[in-house]
């Protein structure tokens, strides 16, 4: 018996001030009743205290949702002055027939209300439209009787579960009209008092009011805590989740990937999202009749063009396309300057690589290693693995002694640090690299190999116009969004940028 009393004393000593306020009022049975009784406490504080009491087996908490229908802003207005169809039919009754123009003017309804009122009255077979006139066709009894929608509005608020069939019909008619009704999912919180709760309701809890809640610096300095008891804290009960501020999960992964390249000795290259056709395609030896340069694949900016002034590099790129450099047949067609002057949203970050090669050539920076990570845009059909906007991570290594094995090493090291121990590398084709490769990862959910992107060594047609001779350049540009899908358990790229607040709060922090 003494042990039972001790347990009760310990429980009382663990009660928070809000819990002690609520216990004497547990016979109220619902959260709404408690809110009325304890007006000095806000709803969140009452609900939280009830959850703590439930954890301590003092009450049994039941929560359920209840759909209620209430008057919207226009519903409140129409209760006072009548529905638009009521105002219009009253006007027509006075005159038996009236032109549409006169009815609109005299009814003082706005355009939308007038159209709705006409439609409703026609559906109820109370009027006919003949030669621009509104003719009354309903009987006096039909017109005088309240419409079903009017009766329904006057009965609100109402629970959805209580609706009769005719009321559901009225609800369906009114739902399509703006702000007449408001459907809300209301959270109903009820509770039952346990035997322990009944015992506490009969117990004097005032002695727990002398317990110290918080140890402050002033209490320590003054020594007032001596000889007093602290409230017992319950460290087992669940607390509401706290969501701290954090970067968007894509930005977290982006920062991490940038650190990988920086730690491997790379410098970052940046550039504009808007590029000329020259840097995005021509300098990368992409044929001017290649499908990627069509509107179906690329976002061009209408009525915009650029006039690139470096005539020397333009002439060298032109030679490469026309097969006038040593060892190359080019594309066997005349190169057109007007195509290179078109302005577009960059389709890859490789346009930054070729611009950086030009700076490297001017500064004679050999060897050199650069990376980029940024947005690209393509006119893709959006599905689980494609988007019209995506991130790409780009890299180049310029070195007289660079070789294909080194390229494989850089890629394997990067993907290993991103969490992929195994990647599949297979031969590929790109207009501006030879040899070329594709990088794949097996998707565990879709049960298929997913392409991450391509890599290779820049062709002489890319390097000779810039350097005046061929210098080995390793290059790669995998799609970055696909790389981070597995870590964040995202199986559809469309989920990545929805900005769903619940998803963002619950998304785990990037840790590798």
> What values do phi and psi take at 6, rounded to 5?
-65, -40
* Beta strands 424-427 and 433-443, pairing class: antiparallel
Which tens digit of pLDDT belongs to each residue from 236-251? 767 667 788 889 999 9
Which tens digit of pLDDT belongs to each residue from 379-397? 887 787 778 889 999 999 9
Which tens digit of pLDDT belongs to each residue from 164-194? 999 999 999 998 888 999 988 888 888 999 9
Of 116, 105, 123, 51, residue with least CA distance to 83: 116
Query: What's the CA gap between 369 and 393, in Å, rounded?
Result: 14
User: What DSSP assignment string belongs to 350-373?
Assistant: HHHHHHHHHHHHHHT--SEEEEEE
* Beta strands 473-476 and 181-193, pairing class: unpaired
Bridge partner residues of 184 (DSSP) = 68
**pLDDT band, very low/low/confident/very high, at 229 (cuts 50, 70, 90):** confident
Query: Can you read off the two tokens belonging to residue 375?
Result: 């947005």
Of 51, 56, 15, residue with least CA distance to 34: 51
432 within 8 A of 474, measured Cβ to Cβ: no
- pLDDT over 70 at 6, yes or no: no
Share of residues in the chain with pLDDT > 70 (%):
98
Query: Can you read off the two tokens belonging to residue 121?
Result: 């009255």
Query: What's the CA gap between 71 and 84, in Å, rounded?
Result: 16
Query: What's the CA gap between 445 and 384, in Å, rounded?
Result: 12
* Beta strands 133-136 and 97-99, pairing class: antiparallel
**pLDDT band, very low/low/confident/very high, at 73 (cuts 50, 70, 90):** very high
Domain architecture of the chain: domains with CATH: 2-58+194-222 (no CATH), 71-182 (1.10.10), 252-271+347-506 (3.30.930.10)
Q: Which residue in the block uniquely carries the two structure tokens 């290693």?
A: 369
Computed over every residue of the chain, the mean pLDDT equals 89
DSSP class of 507: S
Query: What's the CA gap between 431 and 458, in Å, rounded?
Result: 9
- pLDDT over 80 at 460, yes or no: yes
Angle at 360 between CA 328 and CA 342, to 5 degrees: 65
């Amino acid at each position: 018996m003494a042990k039972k009393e001790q347990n009760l004393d310990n429980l009382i000593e663990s009660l928070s001030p809000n819990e002690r306020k609520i216990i004497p009022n547990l016979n109220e049975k619902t959260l709404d009743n408690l809110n009325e009784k304890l007006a000095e406490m806000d709803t969140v504080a009452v609900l939280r205290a009830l959850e703590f009491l439930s954890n301590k087996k003092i009450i049994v908490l039941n929560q359920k949702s209840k759909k209620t229908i209430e008057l919207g802003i226009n519903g409140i207005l129409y209760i006072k002055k009548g529905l638009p169809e009521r105002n219009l039919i009253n006007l027509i009754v006075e005159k038996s027939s009236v032109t549409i123009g006169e009815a609109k003017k005299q009814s003082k309804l706005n355009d939308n209300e007038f159209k709705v009122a006409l439609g409703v009255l026609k559906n109820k077979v109370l009027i006919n439209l003949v030669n621009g006139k509104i003719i009354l066709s309903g009987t006096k009894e039909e017109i005088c009787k309240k419409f079903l929608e009017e009766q329904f509005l006057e009965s609100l608020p109402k629970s959805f579960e209580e609706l009769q069939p005719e009321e559901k019909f009225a609800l369906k008619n009114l739902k399509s009209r703006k702000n007449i009704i408001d459907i809300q999912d209301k959270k109903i919180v009820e509770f039952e008092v346990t035997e322990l709760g009944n015992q506490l309701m009969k117990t004097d809890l005032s002695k727990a009011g002398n317990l110290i809640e918080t140890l402050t610096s002033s209490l320590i300095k003054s020594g007032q805590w001596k000889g007093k008891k602290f409230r017992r804290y319950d460290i087992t009960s669940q607390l509401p989740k706290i969501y701290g501020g954090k970067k968007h999960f894509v930005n977290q992964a982006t920062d991490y990937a940038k650190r990988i390249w920086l730690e491997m000795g790379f410098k970052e290259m940046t550039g504009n999202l808007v590029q000329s056709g020259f840097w995005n395609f021509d300098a990368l030896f992409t044929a001017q009749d290649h499908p990627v340069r069509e509107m179906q694949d690329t976002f061009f900016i209408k009525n915009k063009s650029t006039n690139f002034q470096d005539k020397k590099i333009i002439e060298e790129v032109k030679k490469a396309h026309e097969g006038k450099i040593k060892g190359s047949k080019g594309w066997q067609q005349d190169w057109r300057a007007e195509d290179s002057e078109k302005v577009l949203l960059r389709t890859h970050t490789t346009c930054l690589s070729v611009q950086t090669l030009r700076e490297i050539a001017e500064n004679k920076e050999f060897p050199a290693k650069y990376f980029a990570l940024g947005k690209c845009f393509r006119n893709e059909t959006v599905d689980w693995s494609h988007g019209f906007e995506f991130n790409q991570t780009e890299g180049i290594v310029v070195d007289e002694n660079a070789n294909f094995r080194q390229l494989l090493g850089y890629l394997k090291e990067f993907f290993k640090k991103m969490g992929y121990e195994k990647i599949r590398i297979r031969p590929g084709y790109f207009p501006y690299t030879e040899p070329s490769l594709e990088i794949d990862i097996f998707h565990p959910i879709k049960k298929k190999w997913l392409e991450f992107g391509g890599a290779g060594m820049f062709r002489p047609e890319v390097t000779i116009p810039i350097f005046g001779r061929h210098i080995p350049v390793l290059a790669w540009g995998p799609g970055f969004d696909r790389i981070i899908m597995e870590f964040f358990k995202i199986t559809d790229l469309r989920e990545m940028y929805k900005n769903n607040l619940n998803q963002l709060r619950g998304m785990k922090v990037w840790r590798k």
